[in-house]
Structure 1
Amino acid sequence: LTYWSIADDLDSLEQRNQALQQQLDGLQFPGHNITYFLGNTSLAALYEQVRPSIVVIHGYTVQQSIFGQQYGETQGSGFIYNQSGEHVVVTNYHVVRNAVNITVTLCNGRAFAAEVLGSDPYADLAVLEVNAERAKLPPLAMTSSATLRVGDPVVAIGTPFGLAGTMTTGIVSHLGRTIRESTAGEFSIANIIQISTPINPGNSGGPLLNYQGEVVGITTAIVSESQGLGFAIPSATVLRELPSLVSTGSYTRHSWLGVTGYDMDYHLARVMGVNVTYGWLLAGIQDGGPADKAGLQGGDHQVSIGGTRYVVGGDVVVAIDNRSVLNGDDLMSYLAAHTLPGQTIQVTVVRHNETVTLPVTLGTRPPPPG
């Protein structure tokens, strides 16, 4: 190689490096710049587009104590949606539970009286009727969350700690989670979206949006110990329930299996002497319930593992309708998203190291606690 050929190669590499640097400079990434683009839409433009449809919800609660009536305040978020021509506000049930004198405040500061039109404690959903002209309530579009994938970017807008109109961004961290909420009693809320966006008190009920400005979920802050995590009710659940919530005031089509159990793991498998370390171990079967009628078997004795007592010896659910069940989240989310009362499902279990598939006709979940 001559000096001149080496110099030419270096010049060529330098030109390529400069071209790549210019391309990188044209890209702006979340976390490093305030504004970045997907296609032709900036987050700033997205915010301006959806902000008029997002509201602050405020109300009062009255509780009896040894000191008499105690008054408290409740505050959360919500968004306007067009349900068959009726502009309503969608939010979390726990935001307006037992609330009176509810008001809805728009981004322009105008406030209107509202009342609960329908609610479902099992899904933590509520719909409000607002005493305002339809033209003053611009609705958001909603699309099914069924198309979401882990890694998809999302936006949350709400009122954390009373700070109205707060926008945060993140990604879908996981799908099909199960969380607990006191309004649902002994049942968990299934098929939940986990997001990297932290959701704080006041965010509850606000929309989770994709980058087209469409609602894909309703954010919820009911898991108080979930620092650094966020959760959202999937829009697929909202779309399924809204017609009933608006027309009848409730939703009563939650399927019911009538079992309790634990996530299966290596230690439980060793104690039981079975060869499966995944699935959902049935601990209890409700007498006369769907699982009992179908012949599913619960645990028959207790053991202690790491200081925790478990009821073991029951069936291990490993599949429903040929879909693998790795844990309780999978089981509950499938029942919530894909079944209705009266539907017969095929439940595959491991029983004493033998695989058995049983047809189970699902019942209707008992009414939620008052």
Structure 2
Amino acid sequence: MKSLNRILPIIAGAIAGGVIALAVSGGANTTHTTTTTVLAPAHGSAIPTSLGSSHGLTVNQIYRAASPGVVDIVVTSRGSGLGLLGGGAQQGEGAGVVYDTKGDILTDQHVVAGATSVKVTFQDGRTASAKVLGADPQTDVAAIHVDVPGSELHPIPLANSTAAQVGDPVVAIGSPFSLPETTTTGIVSAIGRGIQAPSKFTIQGAIQTDAAINPGNSGGPLLDASAHVLGLNDQIQTSSGSSSGVGFAVPSSTVARIASGIIGGSPVKHSYVGISLDSTMSGGARIATHPDPCGDPPVIPGAPGANAGLQAGDLIAAINGQTVSSTDAFITTIDKYHPGDTVTLTIKRGGQTHQSKLKLGTRPGTAQCG
């Protein structure tokens, strides 16, 4: 019997610290306490009994509506072993969501990273080979494609993740420990979390849940009470390597934007500033005053921030007139713009307020420090 390395990034506890590096709209160094990410299993809380009466579907109704659109994904990749023969082939397992009737399926980038072959298994047992259309390590979103008749596909609608509220009931479906179609329940524990992407930058707006998520859940849906995809299960935070009730999903708003680009054949690019922010400060986004853990200065020489005249200790109060209340707000706002866009920053320095125009760059493939 072949052993499967079930896919699910796990972080060993929260990372303490205050400086978050912004090599792009995301942090180059995730020292933010909420940026640690990996699919984290949790002790799944039961959905309130009122769910299904006036507040939405029951868990069983959600499962029956969505499960035909959830797939098991087994990925074969080359091993990284030492020696003349290398490590041989290795397998990993995750889940995915049918996106449309054309054969496009969404999953996490880390599920299909380095894949030499991808096999998809549908709820009814049918299998199909899949091709990786593209992946974005900055947001941990990927799209794969299967040649299956549209009549046999069951797309799951994407929810509006920006409308999610703490306490909303959720359902997770995936393949934990090679058990496809496993369904767990919980609530939205928090919104707007920052988690670490495979590129070591920060994914903003992640949804935290206590629904049990384990290795093999990666790429599967976190569903709302209408059986719509609120996010793709991505990571867990744990200090023991086992479920601790702290899981994270990439929000559907991000998934939809990235998937549209990948499936449409457009290159996915993210904006880049090139500064480190002190996440312990409030009232705006303050540029750090000391080098980050990798020794890089708060304002990277030659980066867009430096070219715009930004300095260590500057407080960024607004972007194009939109108030910036925190580091997270700055990252989220910048990520709405495209590389090459020019934005006007309102900066407070030395008791004075002035404005500076900044032309956004393109985020590097990986953060320099992570």
Global fold match (TM > 0.5): yes
Is it true that 1:227 corresponds to 2:244 in the alignment? yes
The farther-off stretch of 234-243 and 315-324 is: 315-324
**8 Å Cα contact 1:179-1:223 kept in structure 2:** no
* CA–CA separation in structure 1 for the residues paired with 2:109 and 2:195: 15
1:204 is aligned, of 185, 198, 218, to: 218
**8 Å Cα contact 1:119-1:250 kept in structure 2:** no
2:364 is aligned, of 359, 363, 366, to: 366
* CA–CA separation in structure 1 for the residues paired with 2:57 and 2:264: 36
**8 Å Cα contact 2:232-2:249 kept in structure 1:** yes
Residues 149-186 of structure 1, C-alpha deviations (whole Å, 9 max, x = no match):
333222211112222112222222222221113x314x
**8 Å Cα contact 2:284-2:327 kept in structure 1:** no
**8 Å Cα contact 2:262-2:268 kept in structure 1:** yes
Q: Which structure has the highest helix share of the two?
A: 1
2:111 is aligned, of 87, 95, 99, to: 95
**8 Å Cα contact 1:104-1:112 kept in structure 2:** yes
Is it true that 1:52 corresponds to 2:68 in the alignment? yes
**8 Å Cα contact 2:340-2:360 kept in structure 1:** yes
* CA–CA separation in structure 2 for the residues paired with 1:34 and 1:102: 39
Q: Tell me which residue corresponds to 2:32.
A: none
Q: Tell me which residue corresponds to 2:271.
A: 255
> CA offset at residue 288 of structure 1?
2.3
2:168 is aligned, of 152, 159, 163, to: 152
Identity of aligned residues (%): 34
The TM-score normalised by the length of structure 1 is 0.75
Is it true that 1:184 corresponds to 2:182 in the alignment? no
* CA–CA separation in structure 1 for the residues paired with 2:353 and 2:314: 10
The aligned runs of 1:295-334 (5 Å cut-off) are: 295-298=309-312, 314-334=313-333
Q: Tell me which residue corresponds to 1:63.
A: 79
Match of 2:46, SS state, is coil
Unaligned runs of 5+ in 2: 1-44, 290-297
Match of 1:49, SS state, is helix
> CA offset at residue 277 of structure 1?
7.2
Residues 100-131 of structure 1, C-alpha deviations (whole Å, 9 max, x = no match):
22101111222111110111111101101113
Q: Tell me which residue corresponds to 1:19.
A: none
The structure with more radius of gyration: 1
* CA–CA separation in structure 2 for the residues paired with 1:35 and 1:61: 45
How many residues end up aligned between the 2 structures? Answer: 309
Decide whether aligned partners of structure 1 residues 170 and 350 sit closer, same or farther in structure 2, where only a CA change above 3 A counts.
farther
Query: Could you tell me which amino acid in structure 1 is paired with residue 259 of structure 2?
Result: L
Q: What is the RMSD computed on CA atoms of the aligned residues?
A: 2.6
Higher RCO (C-alpha under 8 Å, 6+ residues apart): 2
The TM-score normalised by the length of structure 2 is 0.75
Unaligned runs of 5+ in 1: 1-29, 266-275, 299-313
**8 Å Cα contact 2:72-2:120 kept in structure 1:** yes
Is it true that 1:37 corresponds to 2:36 in the alignment? no
**8 Å Cα contact 1:59-1:75 kept in structure 2:** yes
> CA offset at residue 281 of structure 1?
3.0
Q: Tell me which residue corresponds to 1:281.
A: 287
**8 Å Cα contact 2:277-2:285 kept in structure 1:** no
> CA offset at residue 327 of structure 1?
3.9
> CA offset at residue 75 of structure 1?
0.6
* CA–CA separation in structure 2 for the residues paired with 1:294 and 1:184: 25
Q: Which structure has the highest strand share of the two?
A: 1
* CA–CA separation in structure 2 for the residues paired with 1:224 and 1:132: 38
**8 Å Cα contact 1:264-1:278 kept in structure 2:** no
> CA offset at residue 57 of structure 1?
0.5
